[in-house]
Structure 1
């Protein structure tokens, strides 16, 4: 933790590498290692790559470094000390003081050659004040809990730092932090990371590439040996841990020594774990000797309450910690290191639940039969090619439009690919047909297929054709049945009935003519032009005796006569008895209406659209169009 927009070049030391065989700590070796690391990190300040210009500037102006250590938990256990003990905290304080002091000495040495960091003169008093506070805390390390050689080494190194720094200055504004070392800790073969205790004596780590790694603490034999256990007892205890994943209940272990082997998390088959306040106290014992902050997780049990978390944060603030991070066990669905194998759960039902089935793709043979169908929808031509399985069922669909590179062609390619994948993964064809049939968008209209005369869209046509081609019974339900007879109604007359009615009507006309001749003996003879006294002229009249039925006059009274129209539509109406009227005026009006109706269908407008209900060609009706087949209006009421 330093000024805003600054970087920190991290490095860490494995403390177990400085433990001698007799259990003492090698002070001389760690000083040499610190000096070498500081020089290397100082070189990286100028050769490093930074994400932001401001970070680059501040890194060059203050040159902060971040040397730290890892495996403190293993070192404490190897010394047969409980992590939650004053002796362990004093040991961590002394080692931190020696490391940071040796780092500042190396920084002074670099400053004597390269000069202090650029902002040292502006911050000289503040910098020396911080160094003085570090020195004072080194003198306050409890002598009763810390080995004398470590406490004396810490005091000596900070005396040297203060004297040299006051005369020469420092090359780096900061030199140490404590990083989590979650990744490099495993690379350095550490049992514990950073300042952390061990998570558990037996733990499982999820690997990024898949799989799981079982990690067994290797420090237990050292601790048991330092506690005075025999070789056989040590072996028996280690075997018990490997089998039960906890040391609790081991026959050869003295219950008074259990605290030495306490870990951050409660083991799967045990009850003991380190209290969360022990983590905070360990951080507080080390913080006075670290330039920056401590990145450490305060591990709390799963049953921790909101009040426990508040207490932890307040304790960290009261003990002058620069940073506090809390993790409650089990709060995440997955955690990289845990005391249980991945996937284990207390619920037996969940363990026995079957895994979800993996979708199976049924691929077509390399050489297969296929069907190709050419279609056209409102002038948009294309080809459908359906690849078949051995049983004749469709397994793939290729849609090729006549216009290469068009937007419609690209969309059809995507539809074909999606349909092929769906069929090969087992989606029933009827499901696809039901889903995509009747999709309405342009282009839509008449097709070249007499079985599918009208399509609401290209998709509607394609899936309708697939259903008719491959789904049994689908064509019978969806194609037009032209062979079926039209339903009989009152207004429909068959040809046989028409002939019979025509004969009967001709007979009646003949009788009416004879009666009319007797009543009109004094009437003038009809001329060839079709005119006579009291009788209206006939259309296309023929000589009497050879007149056609169309030209006969039914004279019911001498003063009235009804003319039978020569128009085909009206002539048919007369024969069927549906258009005979009592006056020639109403008959002529009806004839005019029929002529106007027929004129509408004599020539369709070029812009007449197909009916969106039945597909028939519509006729202009004002500014809109109307379908005379089903009565649908295309916009006007």
Structure 2
């Protein structure tokens, strides 16, 4: 006897539930006729309003697109019956005329070639000569407008009674303000011992400021929990109110007008660096190649004792990354994607700044992020200012080799009677020094590999929040 549970408003008067096995199921609010009857509307007026909302689901007497016009286009009665049988559960009338629903035999009999109707952009109704305006007018009658706004006989003062969590259909303008969800929960919260299982629905155009305001107001009103959902924020969502049909002609032309990606070739003689390290006891060499401006253009990964298969995979991976860099893929994308990848070998690293890595790939991109992007957040030991300057200078000026000269023995001088005072060095970062004392005996995090810090009798990871040794 109800369409929703508890204090949850309806998602929309007409919505479509996405099925796990594919397809959609049309759900229509069953309380609308009862509400209209309670408001004093006649049976004829109720029937007109309901038809306006949900449509006729029939080709009979539909404008432009009906049995007569379809017979004139070459459809048989059996094919028309098949089309009409699908109208009850479709978003849009074009779904009933999809190539999958019509069938190859019918399409070929109508004169369409296989390569044409298998194109995902194929529009059968348009190909049959129906204009976009004619299709839309027929769709409004057959599938309905999915909103009660603008319905015949309806008193505008009654519109708030039928407001839903989202705009109803493509023509709907009204919806419950997100803050009304919060205030409704606040009215019920004093009577409940726990939090309320209810979602605050936000429209697609909701901003970060709107979300901040909802959380702040929920805190002020004493709510124990607030759950938000912005319409369309996920690639796939269980309930939908409409389909988005956009004309992408201009966008397609703009994409077609863009030039093809050009590969930026590396110079024949280039600079870079070679870094040797051990990851979990396995020696790995990283070699880089740079453009004239010092930006990274290629990498080489050498693990000569790891077997032919693993070594070959690492070589192919390095080539793929190098090609991406040369075709313009930002280095930051690689660093963000491949850090924290976990597979063997993993473990401690004998690098001045990187002390633990969850895989060879994780180590490689931590090192690249540090050397070429200054990403000190990816290393366990922050580089000093002198190290950062050395890295910057090594990229600004080419490295030149010079003959090795024998060094003179150190000159030792003993000052009798007094101690030579050394200049006191001031800590550059008090927080870093404090954390260093807390990390002296701390193990590596068993979740992300970062160094942990002492937290009472336990250890906690400042990177992922994991707790070790206690809870």
The structure, 1 or 2, with the larger RCO (C-alpha pairs under 8 Å, 6+ apart) is 2
TM-score relative to the length of structure 1: 0.26
TM-score relative to the length of structure 2: 0.34
Q: More helix by proportion, 1 or 2?
A: 1
